Amino acid sequence: MNSDPEARAFNDKFPTNALWHFVDLPLGTKDYREATRFTSVNDVTHAINRCVAVLETAENQPDDFTKPQALRLLVHFVGDIHQPLHCGTGFYDLSDLAHPILIRDPHLCSGKPNDRGGNDLFFGSDPNQELHAFWDQALVFAIRNSSDYHLLAGWLGSKFVQAVSVTAGNYHVWAEQWAIDSVQQAQQAYKNIILGSASIDGQRLRIAIELPNNYTESNQPIAAEQLAKAGVHLAQLLNAIQWR
């Protein structure tokens, strides 16, 4: 139970908020609008747009965020949507649990089980040795061999920020573009992973995987670039919003 009264009140008011941090799109998704059967009003793209709407509305609605909440959430969600495994997800043919088959084509993924952005892919016996956590934590640490975000931010600024392009089009649909870009990066996250056997415990899927020997070295640049994109794109969005 969260001991913070504000957090408790927020969770009570918005019980679906745990769903706002991701969208489970098949790895072959090329257009967000063509993959609407995998999206929901509670996914990260909709959450970003909802925050923008609150910040662009003069009067707060009693059933929505406050403006300070919307700004804090927006910062968090723009970071989330640039993490590849918050957008790209493996879908599977599990007709033979001993040999799960990864499906990338969105047209073949409807109704198929998915690994929840790598949360159900385990490369070791430790509960934390799963692919999503590896991208959220281990790869970020590996960028500079440090968890010091000041050091990381300074290095990213010197290496990547100038190369990040401006997002094109109407900023109200930028989140959709960012989600698709992250799906494309997620294809690399799944590259050369060896699938072992799968098991289903209740509603929870578990697939054993083996990571290639150079997995960290191959994907560390992707993780770094996505972090840089998140910072630049957030700044671009904050500049574009019509604040009220």
Q: What domains does the chain contain, in order, with CATH numbers? A: 5-240 (1.10.575.10)
pLDDT band at 2 (very low <50, low <70, confident <90, very high): low
Mean pLDDT of 209-215: 96
d(CA 243, CA 71): 11
Residue 21 has pLDDT above 90, yes or no: yes
Burial of 12 (0-12, 13-18, 19+ CB in 10 A): exposed
For 151-183, what is each residue's pLDDT tens digit? 999 999 898 878 898 899 999 999 999 999 999
**HEC profile for the chain?**
CCCCHHHHHHHHHCCCHHHHHCCCEECCCCCHHHHHHHCCCCCHHHHHHHHHHHHCCCCCCCCCCCHHHHHHHHHHHHHHHCCHHHCEECEEECCCCCCCEEECCHHHCCCCCECCCCCCEECCCCCCCEHHHHHHHHHHHHHHCCCCHHHHHHHHHHHCHHHCCCCCCCHHHHHHHHHHHHHHHHHHHCCCCEEEEEEEECCEEEEEEECCCCHHHHHHHHHHHHHHHHHHHHHHHHHHCCCC
Give the pLDDT confidence score for residue 60 in this predicted structure.
85
pTM for the complete prediction?
Answer: 0.95
Report the Cα–Cα distance between both ends of the chain, in Å, rounded. Answer: 35
The full length of the chain comes to 244
Max Cα–Cα distance, the chain, nearest Å: 56
For 22-79, what is each residue's pLDDT tens digit? 999 999 999 999 999 999 999 999 999 999 999 999 988 889 999 999 999 999 999 9
Residue 97 has pLDDT above 80, yes or no: yes
Mean pLDDT of 194-208: 93
- Residues in contact with 42: Cβ distance below 8 Å, sequence separation at least 6, in sequence order: 16, 19, 20
